[in-house]
Amino acid sequence: MDMGKTKILIVGGSSGMGLALARRYLDEGATVIIAGRGEAKLSAAQEELSYSGSLEIAVVDISREDDVAALFQRIGRLDHIVSTAADIAGAYRLLPEIELSAAQRVVESKFYGPLLLAKHGAPKLSANGSLTFVSGIAAYRPAARGAVVAAVNAALEGLVRALAIELAPIRVNAVSPGWVDTPIWQFVAGDAKDETLAAMARRLPAGRVGRPEDIADALCFLMGNGFTTGTTLHVEGGHRLV
């Protein structure tokens, strides 16, 4: 595929699976815009990727409609929009300990954010363009402390199916990762991160947890396959089976 004229927006592109996806498409010659709330993180990612001319950064809070509308007004035409953003810090709590503000941040980043990206971004997409979001294994294998994340992931997948109908022929899909070794685990498990991931690796049929590049592969497939829409692609090492 000739990526020379392809323009992609990746929200959450400053770390983890979003950064891996940005690197993949920059290597193929696309123009990539990585977006997020933290200018320092975006600048560090820009320096790490070091693709002069074909990489841009954009500071945006996708839970704020004015921010999202201004972003698309500024960047113009696009071929693909991806969001890997997730603000789950503080959300993994047992029911009596859940703070509504933490739950609201999950909803804003993983549901309202994608909704606003679709609302304001779809008019900027080419007819064969795509919107791709990231849900997660919690929707299928919920655990104690994970009620909010499980519910929001499931809601996002429902949104994807509805938008695939409303926005056609623009394609709308989701990737549902399993446990992936990304910086978000520092918030989930803290100092027990390595031990927690190693224990899961022993359980999984794949024999390991995921890497950001595994999810980037799945995102690339959904963005590039013109006959896939309204779909959730599971990339979880067999987690749903165990």
pLDDT digits (tens, 9 = 90+) for 72-111: 999 999 999 999 999 988 899 999 999 999 999 999 999 9
Residue with the larger pLDDT of the pair 192 and 75: 75
Ordered by where they begin, the domains of the chain are 7-241 (3.40.50.720)
Residue 19, CA distances (Å) to 25, 29, 93, 183 in order: 10, 15, 28, 11
Q: Is the pLDDT score of 53 beyond 90? A: no
Give Cα 82 distance to the centre of its chain: 6
Residue 191, CA distances (Å) to 41, 119, 178, 185, 215 in order: 22, 39, 20, 9, 24
Residue 216, CA distances (Å) to 9, 13, 177, 192, 203 in order: 14, 11, 10, 26, 23
Q: Is the pLDDT score of 3 beyond 70? A: no
Q: Is the pLDDT score of 1 beyond 80? A: no
Number of H helices, E strands in the chain: 9, 7
pLDDT digits (tens, 9 = 90+) for 121-179: 999 999 999 999 999 999 999 999 999 999 999 999 999 999 999 999 999 999 999 99
Q: Provide the 8-state DSSP code for 210.
A: B
Q: Is the pLDDT score of 43 beyond 70? A: yes
| Residues with catalytic roles | 135
Q: What φ, ψ does residue 159 adopt, rounded to 5°?
A: -60, -40
pLDDT digits (tens, 9 = 90+) for 220-231: 999 999 999 999
Confidence (pLDDT) at 227? 98
Give Cα 6 distance to the centre of its chain: 19
pLDDT digits (tens, 9 = 90+) for 163-184: 999 999 999 999 999 999 987 7
H-helix or E-strand containing 158? helix 147-166
